[in-house]
Amino acid sequence: MKDAVNPGLTDPITVAVIGSALRATVNEMGEALRRSSHSPIIREMLDYSCAVFTAKGDIVSQDEFLPALLGAMAFAMPVLLKENPVETIRPGDMFIGNDPYRGGTHTPDIHIFAPVFVGGKLVAWSANLAHHADVGGTNPGTEGFANRSIFEEGIRFPYVKVFEEGRAVDQVFRYIENNVRDPQSNLGDLRAQIAAAKLGVQRLDGLFAKYGVATMQAAMEERIDQDERKMRALIAQRPDGEATASGFLDNDGLGGDPVEIRVKVTVRGDNVTVDFTGTAPQMAGGMNCSRTAASSAVIFAVKAAFGVGTGQTAGCVRPITIILPEGSMVNPRFPAAVSLRHLAAQRTADTLILAFSKLYPDAISAGTFVGFSSLAVECRHPRTRQVVIMSDDLGGGFGGNSDGDGLTAVDTYLSNVGILPAEICERQYPIRIDETVLLEDTAGAGAQRGGLGIRRIYHFLDTCDVVFYTEQTDARFAPWGLAGGKSGKPALLRLERADGTVMPITKNRMLVGKGDRLVTCTGGGGGYGDPKQRDREAVREDLREGKISAAAARDVYGLV
């Protein structure tokens, strides 16, 4: 141990080296979690995150695979520490939790926290979060637009021990096994999370042994302070200002009217305030945004507007004030349903980007597809006939910006999950992917056009219980253009029955039969700048590559 001498306690090089080691630790944890997980939603689609915390619960390093999870564990940790006094925590303990009303996002996102001890003293935490394909509840995959309360959304854990002094608490595993549709997948994914958390503890043990407790803790605090100073400096570089914006969900999940998200952003000096006063009251359905999920959307949007180059630590959040009116759709009262909070969170992020675009149009992209066209399927494995849960989430077009065209076929903003590979789908589920293609003319026109949406066709080879949903099917709420750019195309879902019947859908749960096909078309991103100012050769290249039609090249871009 080097605490007695500790020449590197405030040495910036030591701080930088330790910061890099912590980033390497969370990335290694993430790779271990991915490689050892059971479900494609983690293994292939990367719906997880890993982090390291200080002893008092401040996040000091986190991977950045999934922006929706950037704030999630940070909101859960204070609840864990409040409900589990430090004197009750022992080496070898490990905690599980997923309650949206205890700092979680929604019930499928399960947290694992493992304390790190040196000489009997709690010095840090290793943590991760992963989306489980199903945690029980009314719907396959747990998420549901029509859920009426949290009690329909599967098992909820307060922060309780899943390991106690190195020994598994078997009752927790048995409880999970008894309450989910596909326990083999859940328990496999949970063991992968546990392994990743243990790996984090091992790596942190090594760092504390090398540098000593005092140096490590001082370096961790300095890393957090550095990110705060950097974030404040980036905010202070921009002019002060205030802007408002409104965004809308197509409906409340139950067939009601559009639902408004209203934001006001205020930039003063080195601080940003985001106020949701005026946002619609909490919805009767399952698309409410938990406080944690709404805060994660704010963190994402502020970092997108100002914080390029900052890490993901507690320091990044300190310059941000978030006002979330209680009882609103972005901070509902218990026991409101929140399982499909991602649709509202994505629209929240987009609305914030719209507000910031009014202050700093050069730094912001045009509107992006945030409809999150998805499905969850309860079916039987083609060979074993065991019940399994298939999930897929489709991205669309990103908005154009002052530097270039929007990205095509990406899961935008808060998501960043991968598309389910066709080979994995067809091997593990009775579903064939007939087509995955880019969609011509879906991008909003502009000097820098938006990215394209995609069409994916699912061909069902057996009877399946399916939950389908998407947002941005209403053309009024399609991805917006900026600086003279045009809007992108809205999304579309339709079910083609084997008997030839065609059924337009947006948010439905139904049984599908052998031979039925789901056609999913995602939206394109908004354009940036006057389309007539687009480079002529870029227009010709888009035409050659099938990204725009001849009619669009002529009528929208003026190509002769």
For the chain, which residues make up each domain, given as ranges? 12-227, 365-560
In 482-555, at which residue ranges do the beta strands (DSSP E only) sit? 492-496, 502-505, 507-512, 517-521
- The answer, yes or no, to whether residue 334 has pLDDT greater than 60, is yes
| Predicted confidence band of residue 183 (pLDDT cuts 50, 70, 90) | very high
- The answer, yes or no, to whether residue 393 has pLDDT greater than 50, is yes
> What are 406-437's pLDDT values in tens digits?
999 999 898 888 899 999 999 999 999 999 99
What percent of the chain shows pLDDT beyond 70?
Answer: 98
> What are 184-225's pLDDT values in tens digits?
999 999 999 999 999 999 999 999 999 999 999 999 999 999
Residues 6+ apart with CB under 8 A from 136: 142, 154, 155, 179, 180, 181
Query: Which pLDDT value is given to residue 1?
Result: 37
- CA dihedral defined by 166, 170, 175, 178, rounded to 10 degrees? 130
Residue 277's SS3 state is coil
> What are 263-300's pLDDT values in tens digits?
999 999 999 999 999 999 999 999 999 999 999 999 99
- The answer, yes or no, to whether residue 150 has pLDDT greater than 80, is yes
Segment 455-463 mean pLDDT: 98
Query: Which pLDDT value is given to residue 64?
Result: 73
Distance CA 394, CA 420 (A): 9
Residue type at position 182: D
Segment 147-157 mean pLDDT: 97
Q: What is the mean pLDDT of the chain?
A: 94
| Predicted confidence band of residue 9 (pLDDT cuts 50, 70, 90) | low
Distance CA 500, CA 511 (A): 16
- The answer, yes or no, to whether residue 151 has pLDDT greater than 90, is yes
- The answer, yes or no, to whether residue 8 has pLDDT greater than 60, is no
Segment 17-41 mean pLDDT: 96
Helix (H) or strand (E) holding 52: strand 48-54
Residues 6+ apart with CB under 8 A from 31: none
Q: Two tokens at 368?
A: 């992006």
Residue keyed to tokens 């969609």: 439
> What are 231-244's pLDDT values in tens digits?
999 999 999 999 99
What percent of the chain shows pLDDT beyond 90?
Answer: 92
